Structure 1
Amino acid sequence: MLTNLWYVAEWSKVVKDKPVRAKLLGQNFVLFRDKSGKVHCLSDVCIHRGGSLSNGWTTERNCVACPYHGWEFDAEGKVQFIPSRGEDAPIPERARIDAYPTEERYGMIWVFLGDLPEEERYPIPDFPEYEDKKNWRAVDVEYNWNGTVDRVVENGIDIGHTAFVHPGFGYPEMADKNKIVKVDKGEYWGSSDNVLYPPQLQGNLGLMKFFRKDKAATHVTPAFYLPGHCVRLHIKVNSWMEIIIFDANTPVDENTTRSFAVQVRNFFKWPIFDGGSRKRTSKVFGEDGAIVEALSPNYLPETLESEVSVEQDKFMGAWRQIRRRHIEEKGWKIDTKAMKPFEGEKVFTIPSPARRTNPHLKWALDTVPLVAPIREAAPVPEEAPKKEVSPEVS
């Protein structure tokens, strides 16, 4: 699990007038809205006596109150009121918890979990089709995986498995015909152009079978982004029909992943077809989920020494390379093994931007330990050019 990235904490529609708990990167957070409707995110622990803020309430001070003793925390994590001390009583400087930047996009609440200043953060991935209501119809789907987020992302960009895992998308006998045409990558993202030969379309009251012949060449472009651990799958069904599945994959903990997915289509845009779109998308997630849950090992191998890869795996190799660089050079990986001896005895928190701007402050909570980088980061040009990835073959 990596810090210093944007992650989706919850659907926007879930957070209303009461605080909501969200678990990400193995830690608990509280989401709440102020009077203007802006959503905020804090560590879900009161530094007074350990109360859960998500079980509290919002106040007239635009704060979230702890249900244990009523301490009120503002959007920056600072305590603004201690009931037992009365109004206008001084507040101890250490009476604060970590607060995290938030954005609402695509019907999701995004939270930046790290201490990087704004100008150094990778951006939330673009999804312009979501805002184009005239030309695209959107439906949302959620799926919970018993699997690590790294495995989930790799599964989402792996075109080779479709011929065996998804009967509606591929034929086993066509596995050698499906081809990767090109692979591009940048500092924190990658994409590939592919040609597949899937079965005849099904669904939408039987209408889909008329729009693509059996084994007709179909162009598919998967992409991944470190921010949100997002996967974007663009399927050009034919010359005028397109589907895009955009999913943000949130690591709840080491072995659990929550996917916030939005599918958009530029055809059959009437609500009557939404149910079928959700059903088919959920079915695909379910087929993948059964595979990912049974993978050994649970974690994504850090090298290729214990696996055998071929040319068709080069796009997954790009994902592994970029992920590994942020572990080995930037040191963004949480050291979960170092935390296990303290389980149930000590509360950790993800470092927030305020910790960098307040180095003098002795915070009440310790931050999660990170795996130390093992090599110096290579210089990155201001605008990294796209280039084709060489296959990792062993």
Structure 2
Amino acid sequence: MLFINNWYVAAPAAEVGDRPLRRRILGADLVLFRDADGVIHCLSDLCVHRGASLAGGLCTGGRIVCPQHGWEFDGDGRCALIPAGIRNPTEPPKRARVPAYPVQEKYGLVFVFLGDQDETQRPAIPDIMPEWDSGDWHSGLIVREKDVNYIRMIENYNDPCHVHYVHEFAKWLPKGVTIVDHELTEHYLKAWHAAWDTQGNYGDSAGLLMEYHVVGCVSRNTNYQPDYPPQIVTAFVTPVDEHNTLIHMALLMPKGEITARDGSRVRGATAEEHAQLLALTRDVVMDEDYAVLKTTRPVQAARPSEELLVETDRTLLQARRMTLAFAQRQGTIDRRAWRELADEQIRVLPCPAHRSDPKNWVHKTVPLLPCGPATAIQASA
């Protein structure tokens, strides 16, 4: 199941420069580049002339230049110059344009809105990580691509009980948690997973505060342990396609003393402690998750009737249902129909200009499923 009309993280902002950067999201090829003013743009990567990859070209004068015949496209996706083949090179046909997708920079990341909703309809990127720009927190970013379905990855970040068993560093943490302080809205989920002590008691001193926003497919986990600085792990999950996921994971620890969840004062972390957490997560923890997720079946999320879920799976299941319901409202891609067309026809993700000006396009948009979320999983498998 892949769905449009959502914000997805495409790359760290620092990676987008004066050379085109190719990305695949939702099974579609895209290209990112900065114009002469440093503004980032995102276009469909396929030139409307002969289908060449624009990412193989260069950027000049704020435009991206196709490597095959030199056609130049601006940040709005319109061809501004056809150097050869027409009488007036600076007046290309109206159909000489490629889809352009809205872009925002936030938290040092490039968010791309892939869909045809206009500015008044688009959901806002959630303010889930205000600490990133405060200067009061140690911060670091890890980028990984894994051949695991993105729904499975989202569920992993909303599953508190796997930590003790999957991750070697966490064997000393309590095995059990109790879900309290639970909040659920249409787009947002938050729950405090209070850790048990040796007598089976729980409270506010130790546990995991889990948050999930379906807008941006982002999970934030704040780990509280007595007498130790809290750690914030925020994972932005981007579906490359049904079988591959791009993860941008931010890790933060406070530089100075901070108030913990239970009201106590906890010391800040040293730069060395944060660097150790970053290295451990990058070199060990993410691979431990991958080893389990890679062999989990089915590849995409199972139906609840095919799983024996328990109380501590509540947030995992709610994150799944929230994502499926959002996909139904926003538009689910019919991947089976798209695959049947792929060898002979080009299909692109819809952009806002498709809705405001539906004519004068060379490439048609991807087929969508006219069905609910449960059927969508089955039809797109």
Query: Which range, TM-score by smaller chain?
Result: 0.7 to 0.9
Q: Tell me, what secondary structure is at the counterpart of 1:91?
A: coil
Paired residue secondary structure (1:83): coil
Q: Deviations over 1:271-330 (max 9, x none)?
A: 4445312212222211111111110000012x31111111111111211221221244x2
Is the 1:331–1:371 contact (alpha carbons within 8 Å) kept by the matching residues of 2?
no
Distance 2:90 2:280 in 1: 58
Aligned partner of residue 333 in structure 2, secondary structure: coil
- 1:232 matched to which residue of 2? 220
Q: Does 1:320 align with 2:320?
A: yes
Deviation, structure 1 residue 89: 4.2
> 1:28 — aligned with what?
29
Q: Determine the structure 2 residue equivalent to 1:69.
A: 69
- C-alpha displacement at 1:87, in angstroms? 5.6
- Three-state SS of the structure 1 residue aligned to 2:8 is strand
Among 361, 365, 368, the alignment partner of 1:370 is: 368
- Asked whether the equivalents of residues 82 and 89 of structure 2 are also in contact (C-alpha less than 8 Å), the reply is no
Aligned to 1:141: 142
2:160 is the counterpart of 1:162: no
Which position in structure 2 is the counterpart of 1:128? 130
Partner in structure 1 of residue 183 of structure 2: 184
Letter matched to residue 371 of structure 1 = L
Match of 2:102 in 1: 101
Residue 58 of structure 2 corresponds to 57
Structure 2 counterpart SS, 1:315: helix
Structure 1 match to 2:348: 349
1:27 shift after superposition: 0.8
Q: Which moved more, 1:99-108 or 1:179-188?
A: 179-188
Partner residue in 2 for 1:212: none
Question: What residue is the counterpart of 1:113 in the other structure?
Answer: 114
Quick one: which amino acid aligns to residue 300 of structure 1? A
Q: How far 1:240 sits from its partner (Å)?
A: 6.5
Q: Displacement, 1:170?
A: 4.2
- Asked if the contact 1:151–1:299 (Cα under 8 Å) also holds between the matched residues in 2, the reply is yes
Alignment partners' CA distance in 2, 1:99 and 1:293: 34
1:257 aligns with 2:256: no
Counterpart of 2:335 in structure 1 is 336
Residue in 1 that maps onto 2:281: 281
Q: Distance in 1 between matches of 2:34 and 2:273?
A: 33
Compare the two structures and name the one with the higher strand fraction.
2
Give the whole-Å Cα distance in 1 for the aligned partners of 2:68 and 2:113.
28
Cα separation, 2, equivalents of 1:352 and 1:369 = 14
TM-score (ref. length: structure 1)? 0.84
Would the aligned equivalents of 1:6 and 1:111 in 2 still touch at CA under 8 Å?
Answer: yes
TM-score by length of 2: 0.87
Unaligned stretches of 5+ residues in structure 1: 200-215, 376-394
CA distance in 2, matches of 1:17, 1:33: 6
For residue 309 of structure 2, what is the aligned residue in structure 1? 309
CA contact (8 A) 2:80 2:91 kept: no
Deviation at 1:144, TM superposition (A): 2.0
Secondary structure in structure 2 of the residue aligned to 1:232? strand
Q: Are residues 86 and 245 of structure 1, via their aligned partners in 2, closer, same or farther at CA, if it must alter by over 3 Å?
A: farther
Letter in 1 for 2:233: I
Aligned residues: 353
User: Counterparts in 2 of 1:192-231, with a 5 A limit?
Assistant: 192-197=191-196, 218-231=206-219
Q: Compute the displacement of 1:120 (Å).
A: 1.6
The answer for unaligned runs of 5 or more in structure 2 is 199-203, 256-267, 374-381
User: Secondary structure of the residue that 2:120 maps to in structure 1?
Assistant: helix
Distance 1:166 1:272, change over 3 A: closer
Superposed CA offset, 1:208-227 (max 9, x none): xxxxxxxx951311111112
State the secondary structure of the residue aligned to 1:305.
helix
By how many angstroms is 1:198 displaced?
8.7
What is the rounded CA distance, in whole Å, between the counterparts of 1:89 and 1:53 in structure 2?
Answer: 19
Q: 1:339 to 1:128 in 2, by over 3 A?
A: same
* Counterpart-to-counterpart distance in 2, 1:241 and 1:269: 6
CA contact (8 A) 2:4 2:327 kept: no
CA distance in 2, matches of 1:331, 1:19: 29
For the 8 Å contact 1:331–1:372, the answer to whether it is kept is no
Equivalent residues of 2:252, 2:274 under 8 A apart: no
Is contact 1:181-1:193 (8 Å) kept? Answer: yes
State the Cα deviation string for residues 175-194 of structure 1 (Å, max 9, x = none): 3x421113211111211111
Residue 198 to residue 97, structure 1, CA distance change in 2 (3 Å):
farther
Counterpart secondary structure, 2:332: coil
Query: Equivalents in 2 of 1:299, 1:244: separation in Å?
Result: 27
CA distance in 1, matches of 2:186, 2:27: 26
Tell me, yes or no, if the aligned pair for 1:30 and 1:42 is still in contact at 8 Å.
Answer: yes
Distance 1:272 1:171 in 2: 22
For residues 99 and 35 of structure 2, the distance between their equivalents in structure 1, rounded to whole angstroms, comes to 17
Larger deviation, residues 37-46 vs 272-281: 272-281
Opposite residue 364 of structure 2, the aligned amino acid is D
- Indicate the larger mover: 23-32 or 278-287: 278-287
Match of 1:7 in 2: 8
Q: 1:209: which partner in 2?
A: none
Note if contact 2:178-2:196 (Cα within 8 Å) is conserved in structure 1. no
